[in-house]
Amino acid sequence: MSNAAFIQIHPDNPQERKVREVADILRNGGVIIYPTDTIYGLGCDIHNARAIERVCQIKGVKPDKVNLSFICSDLTHISDYAKIDTPTYKVMKKALPGPFTFILNATSNTPKYASAKKKTVGIRVPDNNIALQLVKELGNPIISTSIHDDDQVIEYSTDPELIFEKYRNLVDAVVDGGYGNNIASTVVDATNNTFEVLREGAGDIEQYL
């Protein structure tokens, strides 16, 4: 694979032309690395099975073992992919956009390869203009996973130029939205009408309960 595109987008004012360029890469089956409100993510179009396989290969994890989340622009179409009751929806509406991944029961509409035959799905609405505009332009969620691994030098998940050097031969584009954080999202299990924190991260769910 040839070198990835390095596309700089200002988080406070994402240029429509550049957002469209990245969305087109996703639409054509590309894999990208892009900023969120926490760490940089590795993602692709939710409906492209081959691209999802590539994400898993880059991550070095089998599809049935990898934890993939759906990046959404808001909660409007969340019921298409996840079963959600009113109390859970109210909490998510208060907490999002924000640094949380909510684990919910998947609906039958969820692409089987996207959820890797799992019965649950992680939903994220990051508080990051680039990610939100990208999903809106694409027209459907982005499958996403963290590029941070415990054995990596921490700068690789925060400095887009270092990320590009490491992944330029593996992905189709790296979106430079400035330095990222090095703390991941807080993962909250909301499958049983409770809010159990599975991974402590950047968000404090107690503020919204």
Q: What domains appear along the chain, each with residue ranges and CATH number?
A: 5-199 (3.90.870.10)
Cβ within 8 Å of residue 182, ≥6 positions away? 39, 148, 154, 157, 158
Residue 52 has pLDDT above 60, yes or no: yes
Q: Which has the closest alpha carbon to 193: 117, 102, 122?
A: 102
Alpha-carbon torsion angle 141, 111, 202, 189, nearest 10: 140
Q: Say what percent of the chain tops pLDDT 90.
A: 71
Residue 149 has pLDDT above 70, yes or no: no
pLDDT of residue 2: 58
Give the pLDDT mean for 171-191: 94
Q: Grade residue 152 by pLDDT with cuts at 50, 70 and 90.
A: low
Q: Say what percent of the chain tops pLDDT 70.
A: 92
pLDDT of residue 60: 86
Give the pLDDT mean for 135-151: 84
Q: Rounded to 5 degrees, what are φ and ψ at 25?
A: -60, -45
Q: Grade residue 46 by pLDDT with cuts at 50, 70 and 90.
A: very high
| CB 147, CB 39: distance < 8 Å | yes
pLDDT of residue 115: 61
| CB 132, CB 73: distance < 8 Å | yes
Listed range (7-21, 24-38, 140-154, 182-196) with the worst mean pLDDT: 140-154
**pLDDT for 55-80, tens place per residue?**
999 988 887 777 789 999 999 888 88
**pLDDT for 106-118, tens place per residue?**
998 887 766 666 7
User: Mean pLDDT score of the chain, rounded to an integer?
Assistant: 90
Give residue 68's Cα distance to chain centre. Answer: 8
Whole-angstrom CA distances from 119 to 72, 142, 169 are 19, 18, 33
pLDDT of residue 155: 47
Amino acid at 69: S
pLDDT of residue 154: 53
The tokens describing 85, both together, are: 């009751």
Cβ within 8 Å of residue 136, ≥6 positions away? 73
